Structure 1
Amino acid sequence: MPKLPAVFMVGAFPPPVHGLSMANEAIAERLNGRARIVKFDTVGARVRSGWAGRLCRLGTGWAVLRFAVMAAVRRPSSIYIGLSGGPGQLYDGMFALIGNLLHVPVFIHHHSFRYINRPSRLTRLVFDLAGNATHIVLCPDMAVRLKQLYPTSVGETLVLSNTSLFPAAPGGHARVRGERPLTLGFLSNITREKGVFVFFDVLSALDRRGLQVRATIAGPVADAIGDEFNAALIRHPRADYVGPVSGEKKTNFYKSIDLLVFPSSYENEAEPLTVIEAIGFGVPVIASDKGCIPSTLRRGGGACVVDDERMAERIADFVVDVASSPGVYEALSCGAVASVMNQAPSQAAALRKLLGMLTRTDAVDGYVISDRRIDS
C-alpha cells in the first residue's frame, strides 16, 4: 500500500469550539484517509495573557522549531494555515516562512474580514513571507478585496464557501406562508455586536406599525449583557428565549421560524453559518451587509441592509413587505432552496480540488481564480 502524503496543519483546533477551529477541523476530517495529518495548534498563545500567555508563547516558539525540523525531515506535501484574524498572524507567518524556504506549497485559509476592513502591515508581511501561497477565500467578494488591498502579495486564490465544509441540511424545501403571524428567528452568540438589541429594536418598530409577530431567540448569552438582555425580553412578551441549540434542537429552531434576522455589526463577520443553515432549511434571511453575506444572499433567499443607525427600521420595512405578500415570501423561500442546490456542485468540486492540491494527487477541476479580477 503506498505511503500517504503528509499535510502539516497550522491553526486553532477544538477546543474551544468557534468558527475558525471548526473549519480547520472540518478540513482535517476531509483529509482523513487521504493524508497523514500533523496538527500544530497555536490557539493557546492567542487567548491567554500574563504569565500564562508568556508560557504559551514559549510553547508556540517550541512548536515552530519542531515544525521546522519535522518539515525539513519529512517534507510534507503541503502546509495548510488557518489564518488568525489578529496578532496570532505573527506565529502563522513563521510557519509560512518555513514552508516558503523549504519550497513546500503553502495554503492560507481566510476566515475573517478584520484585515480586509482594516488593511494590516502584519498581514501583508505574512503574505510576503508565505511567498507564492494559494489563498483560500470564502466568496468571490473576499477574493476581489484581498487582491485589491494586497495586490503584490496575493496571487492565486481558490473560492471555498463554508457550505462545502458545513453542508446545508438535506431535505430543505420551499416554505408556504400560512395565516398565522410571522415568527422571526435570531440565532448567534448573543452579544451586542451580533445585533441582538437591533433585533429587539426591529420588534419594537413592528409593534409601532401594528404588525404582530412572534420571535424566537437562540444561542448563549454573553455575561456582559445578561441583565440588559433579560430586561429586553420582559419588554417583548412575544419573544421567547430557548437557550443554546445544537443537533435536533437547532433543526427544530429552523423549522419553527419563518424568517431569520441577522443584524450583525461585528466588523470581522465573514460567512456566518447561521445564514447558510437558514437558507438550507428554506428560511429566508434578512441580514446586515457584512463580509460574505451579500455574496451568499445575492444567489437568492433573502436580502441585506446597510449597517447604520436605520438598520432596524429597514429590516422592519422588509418584514412588513414579506408579511403582506405571501407571494414574496414564497419566492424568497424558493430562492433559498435553489441557491443551495445551484451552489452545491461547484463547491463540491472546489473542495475536491483543494484536497487534491493539499495532497498533490489528481483532482477534478475546481473553482479556481488565478490572478484576475472577479466580476461580483
Structure 2
Amino acid sequence: MSQTGKNILFMLHLPPPVHGSTIVGELVKEREILHKSFHGRYINLMLSSKVDESGKTNLKKLFRVVIIWFNLLGKLLHRKPDLCYYALTTTGSGFYKDVLFIALIYLFRVKIVYHIHNKGVIDAQKKKINHLFYKFVFKDAFVILLSQHLYYDVEAYVPHNRLYYCPNGIKDYQPTAALLTLSEDRPFTILFLSNLIEEKGVFVLVEACSILRDKGCEFRCNYVGGEGDVSEKQFNAFIEKKGLTEQVKYLGKRYGRLKEISFEQSDLFVLPSRYDCFPLVVLEAMQHGLPVITAYEGGMPDMVDEGSSGFLLSRYDDAEELAGRIELLISDPELRNQMGRNGRVKYEKNFTLAVFEERLLCILQEVIDYNK
C-alpha cells in the first residue's frame, strides 16, 4: 500500500552532543527515501548540549521541556499525525520527561512507535512507580529494537506482535590510498574511540595495556573522544599511575577526516563496554576493516562474530581476558587481517545505510497499516 501523504511526527535526539542516538536521529531526518514516502515533521528531544550534562537537571533543561511540550501541542493541534516515531529514553530523568510528552500524544489518540537505543528497563521496573509508567508508555505502542538480544529488557511490556528489529546502519566510507599506506615500523596500534565513560571500559583497557606492557608487548593505544563522567585530567592521572604515558595517549575529539585517519592508522578496535546497545562506532570499525574486541553485551553478538570478525569478552571488566585477546592479535597478523576482512563483508551485507533505511521504511509502513 502506498503511504504517500501519510503524516509522521518524528520525535528525535539530534546533535549536539554527538553520540549514537543523536547520530541515528540525524540520519533518520536526512533520509530522502522517508521524505518521498511520508510527510515528516520533526521535534528535537535533546535537552543537553554536552555529554557530561546528561542525567543532570537544571533550570535551562526544565525551560527546554516546556518549550518542547508546547511545540508538540501545536503540531498535534495543527495537523494530527498518522503516526509518531519516538526515540524513547527508557530510564532516568530522560524517561520521566518522555512520559510527559507521551501522555500528550496519547491524549490525541495518535499511534506511536518507539525506536529504543538504550536499555535498563529490566532493572528500573523494580520500582513500583517505574513499573506503572512502563505499563502506561508501552500500552498499545509498537517498539523497534536494535537487536533480538535486547528483547529481554522490555519483554514484560511488549508483545511479539508489536515488536520490530532494525539494526543501525551507517554511511559508507572508502579509504584513500594515502591513508592505507602506513609506516611499516610503526607499533601495533589499538584504538578506543568513544566518550570517556567508565562503563564503556575506559579503565579496563588501560589495565589490559598494563598487563601487555608487563609481558613485553610493543604497542600504542590511542583514546579518541570527548570527556564524559571521566575527565581528561582523571584519565591522564590514571595512565601516569600505571606508568603507561609512552604507550597510551588521549587525543581528544576527532571528527571528519581526522576521525577516519584514526581508524585507518589502527590495527585493532577495542570497546569493552557494558553501556552500549548497538554502538555505531563498532560498525565504523568493521567498515574500516578492523578486527573488534568488545563485550558480550546488548546487541554486540549481532555485530561481532566471535572468532571470525573479532572477540566478545565474557565480562566487560575482565582485563586479563582482554589482554589475552589483544596479545593473540598482536602476534598473528594473518588472523587479524582475516578478521578485519570478515567484519567488512558483514558490514556491507547487514549494516549499510541503504539496508537500514529500507528496513525502517518497511516498519513504518507496516505500523501505519496495522489494525487491531
TM-score (norm 2): 0.80
Q: Is residue 55–residue 94 contact of structure 2 (8 Å, CA) maintained in 1?
A: no
Give the structure 1 partner of residue 45 of structure 2.
42
Question: How far apart in 2 are the matches of 1:33 and 1:296?
Answer: 30
Which of the residues 212, 215, 220 maps onto 2:221?
A: 215
Q: 1:26 to 1:200 in 2, by over 3 A?
A: same
Please say which of residues 29-38 and 119-128 is displaced more in the overlay.
Answer: 119-128
Q: Deviations over 1:276-320 (max 9, x none)?
A: 1111111001112222122211374211113365x1111111112
What amino acid is the match of 1:252?
A: I
| Aligned residue number for residue 22 of structure 1 | 23
Partners of 1:312 and 1:67 lie apart in 2 by 50
Equivalent-residue separation in structure 2 for 1:244 and 1:289 (angstroms): 26
Cα distance in 2, alignment partners of residues 230 and 131 from structure 1: 47
Q: Name 1:32's counterpart in structure 2.
A: 35
CA offset digits 1:20-54 (Å, max 9, x no partner): 22222221211334433222333339866344444
Contact in 2 for aligned 1:279/1:285 (Cα 8 Å): yes
Contact 2:197 2:227 in 1 (8 A): yes
Instruction: Please give the alpha-carbon distance, in whole angstroms, between the structure 2 residues aligned to 1:361 and 1:150.
Output: 18
Residues 263 and 288, structure 1, Cα contact 8 Å, conserved in 2: yes
Equivalent residues of 1:183, 1:216 under 8 A apart: yes
Secondary structure (helix, strand or coil) at the match of 1:79 reads strand
C-alpha distance 20-350 of structure 1, shift in aligned 2 (>3 A): closer
Give the CA deviation at 1:175: 12
1:358 corresponds, among 336, 358, 364, to: 364
CA drift of 1:349 comes to 4.8
Question: 2:171 — aligned with what?
Answer: 167
State which of 281, 300, 311 in structure 2 corresponds to 1:303.
Answer: 311
Partner of 1:261: 270
The answer as to whether partners of 1:35 and 1:359 remain within 8 angstroms in 2 is: no
CA distance in 2 between counterparts of 1:69 and 1:18 reads 32
Structure 1 residue 90, shift from structure 2 partner = 3.2
- The alpha carbon displacement at 1:158 in A equals 2.0
Aligned CA distance change for structure 1 residues 248 and 50 (closer, same or farther; 3 Å) = closer
- In the other structure, the counterpart of 2:350 is 343
Contact map agreement 1:168 1:281 (CA 8 A) in 2: no
Which residues of structure 1 form unaligned runs of 5+? Answer: 364-376
**Which string of whole-angstrom CA distances, capped at 9 and with x for unpartnered residues, describes residues 183-209 of structure 1?**
111111123332222222111100111
**Kept after mapping to 1: 8 A contact 2:142/2:367:** no
Mapped to 1, the partners of 2:163 and 2:181 lie a distance apart of 36
Contiguous gaps of at least 5 residues in structure 2: 49-53
> Where do residues 1-376 of structure 1 align in structure 2 (5 Å cutoff)?
4-30=5-31, 31-44=34-47, 49-70=57-78, 74-86=79-91, 87-100=93-106, 102-116=108-122, 118-119=124-125, 122=130, 125-126=133-134, 128-142=136-150, 144-146=151-153, 148-151=155-158, 155-163=161-169, 166-170=170-174, 181-222=187-228, 224-234=230-240, 235-236=243-244, 237-266=246-275, 269-298=276-305, 300-307=308-315, 311-344=318-351, 348-349=354-355, 351-358=357-364
The offset of 1:357, in angstroms, is 4.8
Q: Distance in 2 between matches of 1:145 and 1:360?
A: 23
Closer, same or farther in 2 for the Cα pair 1:127/1:354, shift >3 Å? farther
Matched residue type, 1:289: Y
Instruction: State the SS of the aligned residue for 1:88.
Output: helix
Q: TM-score, normalised by structure 1?
A: 0.79
Distance in 2 between the 1:127 and 1:27 partners? 27
| RMSD between superposed Cα atoms in Å | 3.6
Amino acid at match of 2:88: L
Give the C-alpha shift of residue 162 in structure 1: 1.6
Q: Note if contact 2:189-2:266 (Cα within 8 Å) is conserved in structure 1.
A: yes
Question: 2:141 and 2:336 mapped to 1: Cα distance?
Answer: 43
Deviates more, 1:27-36 or 1:47-56: 47-56
Distance 2:330 2:13 in 1: 42
Aligned-residue sequence identity (percent) comes to 23
Which AA in structure 2 matches 1:49? T
Q: Residue 9 of structure 2: SS of its match in structure 1?
A: strand
The alignment partner of 1:32 has SS state of: helix
SS in 1 for 2:216: coil
1:367 equivalent in structure 2: none
Mapped to 1, the partners of 2:185 and 2:68 lie a distance apart of 58
Q: What is the CA-CA distance between 1:172 and the residue it aligns to?
A: 10
Q: How far did 1:147 drift? A: 5.3
